[in-house]
Amino acid sequence: MLRAGFIGAGGRSQSAHYPCVQRLDNVEMVAVCELDETRLNQMVEQYHFPHVFT
């Protein structure tokens, strides 16, 4: 199992990266880092990242 962490939660991440990675069987999305706390909270709510950083 690959554990993936992401830096940034901008438009490309939301429209392409996160949805594609979420569909992979052998990848667990475990962390996200984003400066914009509003955007960060939206991504945590949608993708349930267990580790969150600003």
Burial (CB count within 10 angstroms: exposed 0-12, middle 13-18, buried 19+), residue 4: middle
pTM of the model: 0.87
Residue 31's closest CA among 49, 10, 11, 7? 49
| pLDDT of 48 | 96
Residues 17, 23, 24, 27: is their CA dihedral positive or negative?
A: positive
pLDDT tens string 6-54? 999 999 999 999 999 999 999 999 999 999 999 999 999 999 999 999 9
Domain of residue 19: give its range. 2-53
Cα torsion angle, 35, 41, 42, 45, sign: positive
Query: What pLDDT score does 45 carry?
Result: 96
Supply the CATH number for residue 40's domain.
3.40.50.720
Tally of structural domains, the chain: 1
